Structure 1
């Protein structure tokens, strides 16, 4: 199924806009630029945590793969574009033990941002079967006009991969994010593509309040193939450059609503 993840958020915005750590005691220390293994208690004690959020898995928990993820906000800093971000760590648990730990950075906000978990990321449009090996974590303010930080993960045979990081934004009918298009064999995704899609008002036409005109701009077409136990991405278009535009009315674009 063509999966426009930011449109799922947009569907909501259009109408609402407005632990205990035991078991494994050693994990990599990626924040210090090293792959060395450090004691978990030492790592925890030397970080000044700003906030923690816990999200519970349903399908992966039933499959005895992951029970929950604890998102730990560690510190604020500024990226190369002088934008304030929050350095975080995503700790994945199974039966009270940390089985994976992934460092990420998200946009800071003076509002009240939150983490969200989506387990049914890819669905076979013909059979409605879902590939539960994929899931996505998102962070941001659940309201119009705020940027969401998104992280697409894949897990199989105990190996967790952060496949794609991207930002998205929805503001009423306008949006910016990624369109994922998976190819299935049974209930498994065997390949997929992604492309950035920006939805803006068509300023070349008079504004129609009842059925606004939009321009859809496509860029950063990327193909993903599964090779040697992990997904590998190949950029198919020039990065950051538009390769196609489409013109739609509001009724054409959001008729499913």
Structure 2
């Protein structure tokens, strides 16, 4: 008789234990998948940069220049970092980041198609400039190649001019061609004469050839870097007649 009762008690105990385990399993917290939304990058400011093509300005193609950050060193020289978003047909295509050292308050962006002001339309080259819009201030310049959705920073340089004097870069490419497989550039400087304000010295340096290979532009120096390979004294008027 006692054995019978013990068997029943053991059976009831087993059922209660199984029930407790089942209940515990049913109230265990559900594992939920977290959905993390990508945070939008915050910019300090954004400038819309129109792209000119001769005397016209593109309505559907432009650049948004986003200021990412800026810092001043112990000498109060400000360095800025920008993200340039290129838009084609009002749609963002590709981006590039640039660093501006020695920022001047009031500086502005500018952009134009082609290697020169006389370039043919529908050029894949875009020249972007940044600097204070006045004579005697340094300008940062960037030459981009934008083809379909591919972007390459081909060349980077600075310029400074003041009333016809200064230093800049001139590009030379085959005329009448929308796309070219090679072109040249050189740095040109025209410095005033100390004794005669109507005279100056023209100098050429940093001659570079660019060639399109394997879907990218390559560059090669044709003259020693930072060394003058051509120098000629001439009048102010004669120099600018040559440029025209």
* CA–CA distance in structure 2, aligned partners of residues 146 and 41 of structure 1: 40
Residue 127 of structure 2, aligned match among 132, 136, 142: 136
CA separation of 1:240/1:40 partners in 2, compared to 1, >3 Å: closer, same or farther?
farther
Shift in Å, 1:107: 3.5
SS of corresponding position for 1:100: strand
Where does structure 1 lack aligned partners over 5 or more consecutive residues? 1-38
The Cα RMSD (Å) is: 3.0
Distance 1:43 1:219, change over 3 A: farther
Is the radius of gyration larger for structure 1 or structure 2? Answer: 2
Q: 5+ unaligned residues in a row in structure 2: which ranges?
A: 1-35
The corresponding residue for 1:93 is: 87
Pick closer, same or farther for the CA change 1:175–1:86 going to 2, 3 Å.
same
TM-score by length of 1: 0.68
Shift of residue 239, structure 1, vs aligned partner: 1.1
Distance 1:185 1:159 in 2: 23
Distance 1:226 1:180 in 2: 15
Question: Where does residue 207 of structure 1 map in the other structure?
Answer: 196
Q: 2:113 aligns with which of 110, 115, 119?
A: 119
Asked if 2 retains the 8 angstrom alpha-carbon contact of 1:196 and 1:218, the reply is yes
**Residues 60-94 of structure 1: per-residue CA shift (max 9 Å, x gap):** xxxx9x72210011222469x99532111101124
Equivalent residue, structure 1, for 2:8:
none
Q: Does 1:146 align with 2:137?
A: yes
Q: Distance in 2 between matches of 1:177 and 1:156?
A: 26
Instruction: Give 3-state SS (helix, strand or coil) of 1:44's partner.
Output: coil
Query: What displacement does 1:192 show?
Result: 0.8
Cα deviation code 1:118-169 (max 9, x no counterpart): 1243477xxx734611111101111011111111111223211111111101
